[in-house]
Amino acid sequence: MGAFLARLWARFTEFPIKSKPICFHLQKNFMSTGDEKAEDQEIQTDAYDELQKAFIRKLTEVGDKRDKWLRENFTQWDQITVDDLTNNFMLLASEENGMMDFKKFCCFLDSRADTSSDHLREEKFKSMDSNDDGFITVDEFLLLVYNYHPLDETEGLRGIGKSCFETAQQIRNVTLLSTGEQLRHGLF
């Protein structure tokens, strides 16, 4: 009975007055998980990090090389035009090999309201098909569309190349509009 009363008395006496525990470690030195933060040391790299850096470096080189190729070959087009044509190519490309055949190329020209003859279309397509397999790659497609109608020294782009450029500019103008402006113009 005495032990019970002693515990009860101790409980009453310490209940309202409880001292805060003393913390010897600052909270800023710990992560949210409770682990102690490591000091800022030199980050150690392993083989995976080196492989990742080499991959990123190679990817950047390939991207720069492609950008240079696009600027040299398509001087009258901007990146939006190239991206739009690449997306069109992806839509029409064969699912088996990722390339475009003559029939799909004619569908592309028809969608752009080109009125050239079938003979001219086939001639241009075959001249761009480098390995004579009946299919063209995306790079060959871009070159074919750009050079389909020769550049005019006074006007610049003509025909299908000009049509693609104007379409890409319209797409750019729409993307620059806010959602409210797009609704106002009836684009939704």
How many domains, in total, are found in the chain?
1
Domain that holds residue 91: 78-184
Confidence class for position 59, pLDDT limits 50, 70, 90:
very high
Task: Specify if 45 maps to a domain.
Answer: no
Cα distances from 32 to residues 35, 68, 184, in angstroms, run 7, 47, 49
Structural domain contains residue 34: no
Could you tell me if residue 12 is inside a domain? Answer: no
pTM of structure: 0.63
Task: List all residues 6 or more positions away from 124 whose beta carbon is below 8 Å from its beta carbon.
Answer: 144, 148
Using only C-alpha atoms, what is the Rg of the chain? 34
Q: How confident is the model over 85-117, as pLDDT tens digits?
A: 899 899 888 777 888 888 888 888 888 888 888
In the predicted structure, residue 41 carries a pLDDT above the cut 60:
no
- Residue 156 falls inside a structural domain: yes
Residue 141 belongs to a domain: yes
Supply the CATH number for residue 105's domain. Answer: 1.10.238.10
CB 88 within 8 A of CB 172: no
Query: Does a structural domain hold residue 174?
Result: yes
- Conformation bin of residue 34: beta by default, left when phi > 0, alpha when psi is -120 to 50: left
At position 108, the amino acid (one-letter code) is F
The reply to whether 3 falls in a domain is no
Say how many Å lie between the first and final Cα of the chain, rounded: 83
**For position 52, what pLDDT does the model report?**
93
Kindly tell me the burial class for residue 73, based on how many C-beta atoms sit within 10 Å of its own C-beta (0-12, 13-18, 19 or more). Answer: middle
Tens-digit pLDDT profile for residues 125-172:
888 888 888 888 888 888 888 888 877 776 777 788 888 888 888 888
Report residue 4's pLDDT band, with 50, 70 and 90 as the boundaries.
Answer: confident
Residue 66 within a domain: no
